[in-house]
Structure 1
């Protein structure tokens, strides 16, 4: 019997099948006992596999795997790559060593943030930029005049996040020795006759790694990790558990903690690096970059907003709650919150009007509506500005890592 030729989907008709499946979908679907799915970057991803509390507990006590494939990835190559990235982003890409990674942001001409992400220097003139949103038109427009090539490679890379105190032990058992790999550095290995890059990066605020390979080796990588990680109770985690962990780590997410400047409908919703406590990464001496003039003016004149961590009384999570001063005057808004199982505190990330982030922070209250037997009860809970991250264990940066 003659085999039928497999028809490939027409990319021009992508709107007929709007949600793609990642290269790991065969494994994530089999493990998703709750059939809990959500969209991310045009892909269908798992929100919760089986039990949120157990998934979060595994992040802090064992080893976990999270499917990173929907993360948007851009390859930036050419003799002008470093100069281009120095103009685009606020950090100095030319000072980033080959084999290293740094966290960065980029702004519009008004100094308002478009997105944040991680920049990998794969070679002298070879970078990969990973972020939450798609920015190809902006990146291409910004490349005019530079000897550089910018392409999106999201579909060409299969990525997994391996996080938790036992993540190093799992990698070692799988045959990948990364004892000397420092935070924000990467190393290459051979996987099934192809390439695998392991970077010591992550979004949980704990010991962890991110693994990068090609889609055709995705399932090989997944099976290898789960076979090697069985003694450490390795388990897959969904987005909800990751969101708990990133809140404990004080990390921000685009379109949850801030609105990208080019997407905002209301002009007062956009934020600058100063207003998101990200001004520490600005390299003022590298030369001109997008938004520099506006940011210099803001540095001199001050900013109306501050981004802070909050410690809230009680154990009722305060997602999206309004913040008041003296229970009367609205002074801010919470963007992310949870009762942290790790630090046993009711924590939150919030935008607060200055000077209520410091000088006038002694009398802050959060308005929360808690469900009590089918009826909401209004609670005014005392809040205190505190340091971020809420959770920052020494094992996160220990080199070599502990064999837990």
Structure 2
């Protein structure tokens, strides 16, 4: 029989298995403003449930500008001559109608027609796409790509992402010097100069409010964060956690995999499976 002392020692020794080790490229900035120390596990990343005050973080979305780290979101780069045909086969919406510089919401199913996941598809060029999702699907995507002249690579760790949401979000981007961002209509995307490189900005979000999502190479993440926070100082920009964002997306009627529906890979009972 194991003594309580041995059990305590074992718990201490194994504690590192419970510690979330992964940090996003924005982690130094997020840690610096994290007053609540309220973290959760987002795909192995240490992500904030709240940062300073859950209620006020929500109001930042609705009355100011809120900055949320979406880097842990799974991201795939899909490119090649057959990229359009491949994605038109595996996702539900007509990809041939998705023009370069546009984004659409879509979903994809297993062979029985049950939903594997949903997400957003960014058409960056005629032959290059970015697919963003909640779950990881690389083996399934690679198997589905057999017969197509297409390359599929996960780029989650290489691409940092921020959601800038709220009524002053456009003013923040304009103040930050992103000339031409006013031309972006809902679900538009474009590239803008940033720190000797480029940042992709789309007029998308998860709040039902005015908002944008920004994607940048991981090594340019901190300079982007600082650029936005400096530009937004007089516009009330605040970093927020997931609890506030989740409240906003519920008000907007936007769904989340394995919260509002069970994905096919996670369903244990047949009656939990969902078709589109």
* Normalised TM-score (structure 1): 0.63
Q: Say if 2:77 and 2:153, in contact at 8 Å, map to a contact too.
A: yes
How far apart are residue 17 of structure 1 and its match? 7.5
For the pair shown, the structure with the greater C-alpha radius of gyration is 1
Partner of 1:219: 222
CA distance in 2, matches of 1:19, 1:92: 39
Other structure's SS at 1:224 match: helix
Partner of 1:66: 68
Find out whether 1:106 has 2:116 as its counterpart.
no
Find out whether 1:158 has 2:152 as its counterpart.
no
Partner of 2:210: 207
CA distance in 2, matches of 1:136, 1:18: 23
Find out whether 1:194 has 2:162 as its counterpart.
no
CA distance in 2, matches of 1:17, 1:38: 10
CA distance in 1, matches of 2:182, 2:126: 25
1:293-332 → structure 2 map (5 Å cutoff): none
CA distance in 1, matches of 2:219, 2:80: 27
Other structure's SS at 1:19 match: coil
CA distance in 2, matches of 1:225, 1:215: 16
1:244 to 243, 247, 254: 247
Other structure's SS at 2:171 match: helix
1:85 to 72, 84, 87: 87
Runs of 4+ in 1 over 3 A off after TM superposition: 15-19
Partner of 2:137: 135
Other structure's SS at 1:243 match: helix
CA distance in 2, matches of 1:230, 1:38: 28
Q: Say if 2:20 and 2:41, in contact at 8 Å, map to a contact too.
A: no
Partner of 2:45: 43
CA distance in 1, matches of 2:190, 2:135: 26
How far apart are residue 42 of structure 1 and its match? 1.8
Q: Say if 1:19 and 1:39, in contact at 8 Å, map to a contact too.
A: no
How far apart are residue 263 of structure 1 and its match? 2.0
**Structure 2 unaligned spans of 5+:** 1-16
**Structure 1 unaligned spans of 5+:** 1-14, 274-404
Other structure's SS at 1:209 match: strand
Q: Say if 1:48 and 1:239, in contact at 8 Å, map to a contact too.
A: yes
How far apart are residue 45 of structure 1 and its match? 0.6
User: What does the per-residue CA deviation read over 1:48-103, in whole Å, with 9 as the maximum and x for residues that have no partner?
Assistant: 01111100001010001000100000011111111111110111112210010000
CA distance in 1, matches of 2:74, 2:110: 19
* Normalised TM-score (structure 2): 0.92
Other structure's SS at 1:154 match: coil
Q: Say if 2:64 and 2:167, in contact at 8 Å, map to a contact too.
A: yes
**Higher RCO, 1 vs 2 (CA within 8 Å, ≥6 residues apart):** 2
How far apart are residue 40 of structure 1 and its match? 0.5
Other structure's SS at 2:183 match: coil
Q: Which one has the bigger helix percentage?
A: 2
1:171 to 162, 170, 173: 173
1:8-19 → structure 2 map (5 Å cutoff): 19=21
Find out whether 1:234 has 2:214 as its counterpart.
no
Once superposed, what is the RMSD of the aligned Cα atoms? 1.2
How far apart are residue 216 of structure 1 and its match? 1.0
Q: Say if 2:20 and 2:46, in contact at 8 Å, map to a contact too.
A: no
How far apart are residue 16 of structure 1 and its match? 10
CA distance in 2, matches of 1:235, 1:267: 43
1:114-129 → structure 2 map (5 Å cutoff): 114-129=116-131
Partner of 2:56: 54
